[in-house]
C-alpha cells in the first residue's frame, strides 16, 4: 500500500483500538486458529502462529482466548472452521487490491467484499487478474518518530536479514522473505526499534501513480474494506506519494 494510505490507516487503527477491541480480538483469534491448522500448535516451529500470539499479547487479549483458538486450530474444537481466501479487486484509478479474508462463510465474505467495492467506485476482479502484480512478503512498518536516523534504520534492518527498507515520508517499511520475517522482526525489537505494525502481506511488484483526490478515495475504501468482519488485510499497488 502506498505511503499515503498505509500510514493514514495505521493512525486510524490506533485511534479506534479501544472502540473496536472486540473486532480486533475476533480477527486475531481467526489468525491463531488458521495458522495453527496450517503449521501446527508449537509457536517455536510455526512463525505465523508466533506472530499471531504476539499480536494477541499486544492487544491485551486474555490468555484463555489464545489457548482456545489454538485448540480449535489443532482440531480439538471443531465447532468453527475458518478458511483463508484472497479476493482481487480494482479500485479508483485502476489500482489493484488484494483482500485477504479468514472466514467460516465464503458466501458472506464475497458478498460483503463485492458490495463494499461496488459502492465505492471499485470492482471485484477474477482470480489472477490482479495477483500477478504482487508477491507475498514479510512487512514491518516503523514510524520515523521511532527511528529518525534513516542510515541507522537501514543498517539495523539489513543486519537483521531484511531484503530491503523502503523509506517514505512518515516511516519505513522493512521488507523480508517469508522464512526470515519473524527473525528479522524479533531482532529489530531487540535492537530497541518500536514497530508500528507487522504482517505477512502482499507487496506490489509494480505500482500505479494516482493524484491526491484518488488517493483519498482509496484510503477511504481501504478503511471500509479493512473494517469488514472477515477481512484480515488489504494491500494495494498505489504508488507512494
163-202 pLDDT per residue, tens: 999 998 889 999 999 889 989 999 999 999 999 888 889 9
In a domain, 51, yes or no: yes
Question: For residues 185 and 205, what is the distance between their CA atoms, to the nearest angstrom?
Answer: 22
pLDDT for the residue numbered 1: 42
Q: Look up the CATH number of the domain holding residue 63.
A: 1.10.10.200
d(CA 156, CA 144) in angstroms, rounded, equals 14
Q: Is pLDDT at 125 greater than 60 in this prediction?
A: yes
- Average the pLDDT over 229-235 and give the result: 92
Element (H, E) at 139: strand 134-143
User: Are 18 and 66 found together in one domain?
Assistant: yes
Same-domain pairing of 9 and 97: no
Q: Say if 241 falls within a structural domain.
A: no
Structural domain contains residue 182: yes
Segment 51-100, tens digit of pLDDT: 899 888 888 888 998 998 898 888 766 666 788 999 999 999 999 999 99
Pick from 31, 48, 73: which residue ends a domain?
Answer: 73
Q: Which domain holds residue 145?
A: 133-204
Q: Report pLDDT for 8.
A: 61
- How far apart CA 40 and CA 181 sit, in angstroms, is 18
Residues 175 and 198 in one domain: yes
- Residue 102 located in a structural domain: yes
Model pTM above 0.85 = no
Query: Would you call 69 exposed, middle or buried from its count of C-beta atoms within 10 A (0-12, 13-18, 19+)?
Result: buried
Q: Could you tell me how far CA 241 lies from the centroid of its own chain?
A: 20
Please state, for a pLDDT cut of 90, what percent of the chain lies above it: 55
Query: How would residue 120 be classed by pLDDT, with cut points 50, 70 and 90?
Result: very high
88 domain residue, yes or no: yes
DSSP of 163-206? SEEEE-SSEEEEEE-TTTHHHHHHHHHHTTPPPSEEEEEEEESS
Specify if 31 maps to a domain: yes
Residues 172, 90: one domain? no
Is the confidence at residue 102, as pLDDT, over 60? yes
Report the DSSP pairing between strands 134-143 and 171-176: antiparallel
Same domain, 13 and 51: yes
pLDDT at 130 over 50: yes
- CATH number of the domain residue 165 falls in: 3.30.70.980
Give the pLDDT mean for 11-23: 63
According to the model, what pLDDT value does residue 88 have? 97
Looking at the structure, tell me whether residues 108 and 220 fall in a common domain. yes
Per-residue buried b or exposed e for 172-190, using 16+ beta carbons within 10 Å of the residue's own CB: bbbbbeeebbbebbebbee
How many Å apart are CA 123 and CA 195, to the nearest integer?
A: 33
Indicate whether 126 and 211 sit together in one domain.
yes
Same domain, 178 and 127: no
CB atoms inside a 10 Å sphere around CB 14: 11
Mean pLDDT of 120-147: 92
* Residues 57, 77 contacting (CB under 8 angstroms): no
Q: Which of 52, 73, 94 is the last residue of a domain?
A: 73
For the cut 90, the answer to whether the pLDDT of residue 240 exceeds it is no
Average pLDDT score over residue span 95-124? 95
Inside any domain, residue 230: yes
Residue 78 within any structural domain of the chain: no
Average pLDDT of the chain is 87
pLDDT at site 2: 42
- pLDDT (0 to 100) of residue 214: 92
Count: domains in the chain: 3
Distance between CA atoms of 161 and 130, rounded to whole angstroms? 29
The pLDDT value recorded for residue 187 is 94
Amino acid at each position: 500500500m502506498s505511503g499515503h494510505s498505509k500510514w493514514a490507516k495505521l493512525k486510524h487503527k490506533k485511534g479506534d483500538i479501544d472502540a473496536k477491541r472486540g473486532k480486533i480480538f475476533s480477527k486475531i483469534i481467526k489468525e491463531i486458529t488458521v495458522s495453527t491448522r496450517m503449521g501446527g500448535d508449537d509457536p517455536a516451529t510455526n512463525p505465523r502462529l508466533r506472530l499471531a500470539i504476539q499480536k494477541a499479547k499486544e492487544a491485551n487479549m486474555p490468555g484463555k482466548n489464545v489457548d482456545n483458538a489454538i485448540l480449535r486450530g489443532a482440531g480439538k474444537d471443531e465447532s468453527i472452521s475458518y478458511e483463508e481466501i484472497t479476493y482481487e479487486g480494482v479500485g479508483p484509478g485502476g489500482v489493484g487490491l488484494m483482500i485477504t479474508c479468514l472466514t467460516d462463510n465464503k458466501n458472506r465474505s464475497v458478498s460483503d467484499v463485492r458490495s463494499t467495492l461496488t459502492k465505492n467506485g471499485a470492482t471485484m476482479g477474477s482470480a489472477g487478474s490482479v495477483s500477478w502484480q504482487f508477491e507475498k512478503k514479510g512487512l514491518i512498518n516503523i514510524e520515523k518518530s521511532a527511528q529518525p536516523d534513516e542510515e541507522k534504520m537501514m543498517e539495523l534492518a539489513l543486519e537483521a536479514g531484511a531484503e530491503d527498507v523502503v523509506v517514505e515520508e512518515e516511516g519505513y517499511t522493512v521488507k523480508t522473505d517469508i522464512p526470515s520475517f519473524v527473525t528479522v522482526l524479533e531482532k529489530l525489537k531487540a535492537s530497541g526499534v518500536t514497530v508500528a505494525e507487522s504482517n505477512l502481506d502482499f507487496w506490489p511488484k509494480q505500482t500505479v501513480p494516482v493524484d491526491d483526490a484518488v488517493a483519498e478515495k482509496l484510503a477511504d475504501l481501504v478503511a471500509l474494506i479493512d473494517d469488514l468482519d472477515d477481512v484480515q488485510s488489504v494491500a494495494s499497488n498505489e504508488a507512494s506519494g
